[in-house]
Amino acid sequence: MKNDNLIQYIFSIADNALILGQRLSELCGHGPSLETDIAMTNMALDLLGQTRSYFQYAAKLTGEDKTEDDLAYLRTERQYRNVLLVEQPNVHFGYIITRQFLFDAFHLLLLQKLQNSTDETLSAIAKKSIKEVSYHFRFSSDWMKRLGDGTEESHAKVQEAVNNLWTYTDELFHNLDSDNEIITQGVGVDLSELKDSYYEKVKEVLTDATLVIPETKYFQKGGKKGIHTEHMGYLLADLQYMQRTYPNMKW
């Protein structure tokens, strides 16, 4: 039972990396320029690498001969604990960068706390990932500024993306009841504590980018409890296709 909470907690972190990594890898060969294409696939690789570390640990805790692949490919939609933000589709480059930026700002804060986890493995993964995510954050912040403070069209597109995606930001800071014990033990991070620094940082970059902070007071949630947007089913169909069609296949 104790393990069960920890495994669920690991999913809540790893699934964000997995699903965003999957979204970014859809762009392989489709980026607007060679450099951005390579950058986004590099970030996908980092995120999937981090996912593997988390899942290898979760698989070990699960026992029953489970592997990282079982956890990545063979769960049902309701069992994925990622936030709604990361499953949002690749509408256009400005949208992709905004999604990335809104997540990176959170991801960096989370890892800065998680590296102090009393769980040695989680702390080690966080210390490793933080170096990579610092680069992601730098990349997405730079692009927010280039697009926001760019042409009329890029400004309009990225402002619209911010307006659309803002509603998914609040969920990043929700703790689930099942995580309480993990948090009190010092294994997990109390997400509500990250909220103020997050919005402060995000607003700073958006202001620099000449973008307006939306006044939305209504926020979407549900991903963490396994209640996802319609996009998730399509994403999983793509992600799981090979393992569902050819169970236990290996490269």
- Residues of this chain that interact with another protein (CB under 8 A) are 35-36, 38-39, 42-50, 52-53, 120-121, 123-125, 127-129, 131-132, 135, 138-139, 142
**Whose Cβ is closer to another protein: residue 43's or residue 84's?**
43
DSSP state of 172: G
CA quadruple 124, 127, 130, 131: dihedral positive or negative?
A: negative
What DSSP string describes 4-68? Answer: HHHHHHHHHHHHHHHHHHHHHHTTTTTSSSHHHHHHHHHHHHHHHHHHHHHHHHHHHHH-TT--H
**Whose Cβ is closer to another protein: residue 46's or residue 179's?**
46
**Whose Cβ is closer to another protein: residue 38's or residue 242's?**
38
Q: What is the smallest separation between the CB atom of 161 and another protein, expressed in angstroms?
A: 21
Q: What is the smallest separation between the CB atom of 217 and another protein, expressed in angstroms?
A: 36
Closest C-alpha to 87, from 237, 244, 242: 237
Q: What is the smallest separation between the CB atom of 95 and another protein, expressed in angstroms?
A: 20
Per-residue tokens: 161: 């993306």
**Whose Cβ is closer to another protein: residue 51's or residue 169's?**
51
Q: What is the smallest separation between the CB atom of 128 and another protein, expressed in angstroms?
A: 4
**Whose Cβ is closer to another protein: residue 84's or residue 144's?**
144
Whether the CB-CB separation of 221 and 174 falls below 8 Å is answered with yes
Q: What is the smallest separation between the CB atom of 23 and another protein, expressed in angstroms?
A: 15
Distances (CA, A) of 108 to 2, 51, 141, 185: 27, 15, 12, 22
**Token pair 């990594």 is at which residue?**
21
